[in-house]
Amino acid sequence: MLRAGDRAPSLRELSRQQRVSVTTALQSYMWLENRGYLEARARSGFFVRQPFASEIPEPQFEVSSARERSLGVDDIMQDVFSAANDPAAIGFGAGCASPDLFPSRRLNLNLRRIIHRDPLHSSRYDFPPGSEQLRRQIARRASDIEPGVSLRDVVITDGALEAVSLGLRAVARPGDAIAVESPTYFGILANIASMGMKIIEIPTHPQEGMDLNELERAIRKHRIKACVTMPNCHNPLGYVLPDKHKRALADLTGRANVAVIEDDVYGDLASDGTRPRTVKSFDKKGLVILCSSFSKTLPPGFRVGWIIAGRFRAEVERLKFVTTVASNSLGQRVVADFLESGGYDRHLKRLRTAIALQVENVRQAIARYFPAGTRISRPAGGHLLWVELPPKTDSLKLYQAALAEHITILPGPVFCCGNRYRNYIRINCGHKWSEVYERALLKLGRLASEARA
C-alpha cells in the first residue's frame, strides 16, 4: 500500500501494470494530482500526497451556548513542560516543529557574521518598539495582506503570547469579560485567567469558527470587552476561517466597539501555500490587534514576536517597556538578517510541504491504530490534530497512561475551562515521521481503547 510521501510507480511501470498507454497513465496521474492525491516533483516523478483524506471522519460540532467558567489546568501544564524537557519522551504534546525543519545552518551563519562584525551587538537596549531593521521586514510582509502597514505600526515582543498579553492589558482590566473560541489554546486561557479577567467561551465550529450569533448574545449579556481569536490554522481545530467569516467577525465587533486580539502565530503555515488574510485586514475602526511571532516557522527559542495594535499602539509600547523593558537584541538581529536575505519564503515553502506530509502520515496512522469511531481533524495548516475519541474514552486517563510510557499528548479539557472535551486529545505532528512515531501511535491507539471513563 502506498502512503503519504511514497513515490508512485513511473508512468511506464503503470502503463505496463495496467495495460494502458503512457498517455492514459499520465492522464490518470494528472486527475489524481488535480484532486490533491498526488504531487508531481520535477525530475523525480509523482508522489503520494493525501490519500483517503476524505474518508477519515472529522470531529463534530457540539451545539452549546456561550458561558463563563474558571480554569483548572495548572497541573497538566506543569507535566507538559517537564515532559517537553524529557529527552526520552515521544512528544505529541507541545506544539513545536521538529528542530531539523528549521534553517539552523543559515541562522547560525548569520549569528557568526553579526558577532564578528559587531562584537558589541547587545550592549544597548532595543527599547520599544524594538529593532527598526526587524520592524521594517515585518511591516513589509504584513502590508502584503493589509496595504499601508508601516514600521511605525509594529512593536516587537517576546513571542506571540506576550503580544496577546500586551494586547489584552491595553484594552481590558481585571474583572472584564473576554470572549474566546472553545476549544482554544490553553496559553491564552491561562493568560486571561492570570490577569483576573473573566473567560467567556464561545462555541466554535470546526470549520466556520466562532458561532457569531452566540458571540453577539455574549457581547450583550456579559458586556464583553475584547475577543481573542485565531482565524488562521486554529489551535487546536486547524481551520482557516473563510474570508466572509473574518469580515463578519470584524463587522460585528466593530459595530459593538469590542476590541479583537487576533493570534496569527500559525498564519504562515497554511498548507495550500497561499497566505490567508487576517481579520485585521477587514478592520475599519483600528480595533483589531494583530499578534504573531516566528516561533512556529523559525526556532522558537529566539522568542521573536510582534504586535500591530492599531489605535492601541502607544499603550502597548508603554506596557512592553514597563513589563520587560525591551526584547533580546541578538535574536531580533538574526531574524531580521534572515528576512532581509530573502531566504524566509523559500524556507516557508519547504516547511509547509514537510509539515503537510507529516500531518497526513499521523492522520493515516491514527485512522489505522485508534479505536473504531475515532474522528480526526483535517487541518488547513499548522501541525496540530484535534482527535475525537469514542464517547466513553477518558482523555485524562489516556494522558496519564501515555505519560507512563513516555508518550506525551494533550487531553481535551486543557483547551477549555471546566471539564469538557473529555474524549478529545490534541496531537502535535511537528516531528519528522519515523517508525518510532508510528510505534508510539500504535501504542497510543491501544491505550485509547483501554482508557474508559
Ligand X SMILES: Cc1ncc(COP(=O)(O)O)c(C=O)c1O
Q: Which residues bind ligand X (CB under 6 A)?
A: 95, 159-161, 185, 187, 230, 235, 263, 265, 293, 295, 300, 305
Q: How far is the CB of 213 from ligand X (least distance, A)?
A: 24
Query: Measured between alpha carbons, how far is 380 from 431 in angstroms, rounded to an integer?
Result: 18
Neighbours of 400 (CB within 10 A): 15
Q: Which residue is nearest to ligand X (CB)?
A: 159
Q: How far is the CB of 222 from ligand X (least distance, A)?
A: 23
* Residues in Cβ contact with 120 at an 8 Å cutoff, skipping those fewer than 6 apart: none
Strands (E), 50-166: 67-69, 90-91, 154-158
Three-class DSSP category at 231: coil
Q: Identify which of residues 11 and 427 has a Cβ nearer to ligand X in the complex.
A: 427
Residue pair 309/170 in contact by the 8 Å Cβ criterion: yes
Q: How far is the CB of 325 from ligand X (least distance, A)?
A: 18
Q: Which residue has the cell 518598539?
A: 129
Query: Measured between alpha carbons, how far is 131 from 88 in angstroms, rounded to an integer?
Result: 38
Q: How far is the CB of 392 from ligand X (least distance, A)?
A: 29
Cell of 24: 492514459
Query: Measured between alpha carbons, how far is 111 from 174 in angstroms, rounded to an integer?
Result: 41
Query: Measured between alpha carbons, how far is 140 from 362 in angstroms, rounded to an integer?
Result: 35
* Residues in Cβ contact with 184 at an 8 Å cutoff, skipping those fewer than 6 apart: 204, 228, 230, 234, 235, 236, 415, 416
Q: How far is the CB of 419 from ligand X (least distance, A)?
A: 22
Q: How far is the CB of 253 from ligand X (least distance, A)?
A: 19
